[in-house]
């Protein structure tokens, strides 16, 4: 058996607008695109699996002090998985989910170059996925949908490089999430809850740009 993995693309951008200053607005957004393909050979048969995922996460808040920001954040994700061989598509799954909710952030400027912040957010929404696979005498279609929610608490740092451009580093934190299915075609699809502490186990890097007149007040 021979396996090859190719065409992996990951792209993430984060932008924020308006300096961390009292009585101003904060606008921030991130987007991620992932594409992967796995080829497997067994004898004279060639199999493949393809996965694509796109997500966008906007955030807008009101900075009511030099340190505190409150607002709302959202996330929309769309994904597609496909498996097949040289002759046919064996199975295909498409899905999407949308969540939104409030957040609160505390920011502390250490210097003109370095600042840290902690954020607590809660997002709630729904998801839907449809799977189609080959069957006899006709294809089999399963639909899963339900409600999801997540609460995240994490620290992050921002390095001001030049002209209010910054590099943002998020090293993970503490999260709680749940998944409650409803009107599903899969009777084995049960409610799940997950509590995870992943600080130091991952790193998210983004680019930010602060737009404002002058420096923030200390």
pLDDT tens track for 45-74: 788 888 999 988 888 888 888 889 899 999
* Residue labelled with tokens 């607002």: 71
Residues linked to residue 3 through DSSP beta bridges, in sequence order: 40
Q: Where along the chain do its domains lie?
A: 2-209
Q: What is the pLDDT of residue 131?
A: 87
**What is the percent of the chain where pLDDT is above 90?**
26
Q: What is the pLDDT of residue 34?
A: 84
Question: Does the pLDDT of residue 107 top 80, yes or no?
Answer: yes
Q: What is the pLDDT of residue 14?
A: 46
Q: Helix (H) and strand (E) counts for the chain?
A: 0, 11
Q: What is the pLDDT of residue 3?
A: 42
Q: Which residue has the higher pLDDT, 14 or 97?
A: 97
Question: Does the pLDDT of residue 38 top 60, yes or no?
Answer: yes
Average pLDDT, integer, range 1-30: 53
* Residue labelled with tokens 């009101």: 62
Question: Does the pLDDT of residue 16 top 60, yes or no?
Answer: no
How far, rounded to the nearest angstrom, does the alpha carbon of residue 30 sit from its chain's CA centroid? 8
Q: What's the whole-number average pLDDT of the chain?
A: 78
The structure's pTM equals 0.74
Q: Which residues contact 129 (CB under 8 A, 6 or more apart)?
A: 93, 94, 95, 96, 143, 144, 145
Question: Does the pLDDT of residue 186 top 50, yes or no?
Answer: yes
Question: Does the pLDDT of residue 11 top 60, yes or no?
Answer: no
- What is the rounded distance in angstroms from the CA atom of residue 129 to the CA atom of residue 20? 39
Average pLDDT, integer, range 204-212: 60
Question: Does the pLDDT of residue 8 top 50, yes or no?
Answer: no
Question: Does the pLDDT of residue 27 top 70, yes or no?
Answer: yes
Q: What is the pLDDT of residue 207?
A: 62
């Amino acid at each position: 058996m021979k396996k090859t993995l190719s065409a992996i693309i990951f792209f993430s951008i984060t932008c924020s607008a308006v300096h961390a200053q009292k009585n101003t607005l904060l606008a921030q957004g991130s987007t991620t695109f992932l594409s992967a393909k796995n080829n497997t050979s067994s004898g004279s048969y060639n199999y493949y699996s393809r996965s694509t995922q796109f997500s966008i996460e906007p955030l807008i808040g009101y900075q009511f002090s030099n340190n505190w920001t409150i607002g709302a954040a959202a996330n929309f994700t769309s994904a597609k998985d496909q498996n097949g061989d040289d002759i046919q598509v064996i199975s295909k799954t498409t899905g999407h989910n949308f969540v939104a909710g409030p957040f609160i952030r505390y920011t502390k400027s250490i210097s003109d170059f370095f600042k840290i912040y902690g954020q607590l957010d809660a997002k709630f929404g729904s998801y839907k996925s449809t799977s189609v696979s080959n069957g006899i005498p006709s294809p089999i279609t399963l639909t899963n949908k339900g409600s999801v929610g997540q609460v995240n608490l994490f620290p992050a740092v921002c390095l001001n490089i030049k002209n209010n451009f910054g590099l943002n580093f998020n090293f993970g934190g503490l999260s709680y999430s749940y998944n409650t299915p409803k009107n599903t075609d899969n009777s084995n699809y049960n409610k799940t809850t997950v509590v995870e502490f992943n600080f130091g186990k991952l790193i998210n890097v983004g680019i930010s740009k602060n737009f404002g007149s002058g420096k923030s007040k200390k």
